[in-house]
Amino acid sequence: MALFNHKHGTETDFVSGGDTATRALSVTAVENAFVERVYQKIAGVYDYTFGPTLHPGRLQAIEKMRIRPGDAVLEVGVGTGINLSLYPRACRITGIDLSSKMLEKAQRRIDEKHLAHCSVLEMNAEQMAFPDNAFDVVYAPYVISVVPDPVKVAREMYRVCRPGGRVIILNHFKSTNPLLSKIERAISPMTVHIGFKADLDLDGFLAQANLQPISIEKVNVPKMWSLVTCRKS
């Protein structure tokens, strides 16, 4: 399996992956029931705690989608629908999430802002009910590091994306700095209680999900989050 070599923003440079195809992606394991409980609890404060800080990355992700009129976009982990008003109205947006409380807030946002081009569904991202090749863009913002099986979710995202379409993942991944990565592994069992694993291994994730990015960019301030863009061949 070829892996992106982290010269961010380039299109073609890849390196081989060593043990990436078999190593554990995180020291922290979770189950769907746990994830649902976490997001049910933080639904009321999510927009205030994770909204402004992570917003620059959301804007850059929208740019990377290169959405055209008529495109069908799937947002995996739509949450409270904080992204929905960012999309052009000439496309069709479907958002899925496991948390009913998050989806209630998303639906209120759709109704209040008259976002008729958006709809939300309660669905497990590890086993989507959509057919193959159903969407032009499939996007997971700040969610891949909390799901029980990030590889399974990524493969489902790839499956429902049409050939030539884009799979985009916006997320925090373990630092390549040895000291920082050691800290992230140590705090991951705690950060999972506020919605993410701090130590998700990017190279291992890409290898095991069989994804080959066309770009990886650091986003937000500080630049601790990665915007990973893939094209389905």
CATH number of residue 170's parent domain: 3.40.50.150
Written as six digits, the tokens of 148 are: 């029980």
Instruction: Write phi, then psi, for 204 (nearest 5 degrees).
Output: -65, -40
C-alpha–C-alpha distance, residues 132 and 116, integer Å: 25
Residue corresponding to tokens 């990377």 = 64
- Domain of residue 121: give its range: 2-231
Percent of the chain surpassing pLDDT 90: 71
**Res. 12 pLDDT band, cuts 50 70 90:** very low
**Region 27-51: what's the mean pLDDT?**
78
Please say whether the beta carbons of 60 and 227 come within 8 A. Answer: yes
> Tell me, what's the pLDDT at 4?
31
C-alpha–C-alpha distance, residues 56 and 26, integer Å: 26
Residue predicted with more confidence, 163 or 24: 163
Question: What is the side-by-side order of every strand in the sheet holding 213-219?
Answer: 118-122, 92-97, 72-76, 135-141, 161-172, 225-231, 213-219
> Tell me, what's the pLDDT at 52?
84
**Region 15-26: what's the mean pLDDT?**
70
Written as six digits, the tokens of 134 are: 């159903």
**Region 64-81: what's the mean pLDDT?**
97
C-alpha–C-alpha distance, residues 40 and 34, integer Å: 10
> Tell me, what's the pLDDT at 18?
60
* Helix segments in 15-149, DSSP class H: 32-42, 46-49, 51-65, 100-112
| Tens-digit pLDDT profile for residues 100-156 | 999 999 999 999 999 999 999 999 999 999 999 999 999 999 999 989 899 999 999
pLDDT at 6 over 70: no
Residue 223: HSE in the Cβ half-sphere, 13 Å Cα cutoff: 8
Please say whether the beta carbons of 54 and 142 come within 8 A. Answer: yes
**Region 4-15: what's the mean pLDDT?**
36
**Res. 62 pLDDT band, cuts 50 70 90:** very high
Collapsed DSSP state (helix, strand, coil) of residue 221: coil
**pTM of this structure:** 0.85
**Region 158-186: what's the mean pLDDT?**
96
In the chain, the number of structural domains is: 1
**Res. 34 pLDDT band, cuts 50 70 90:** confident
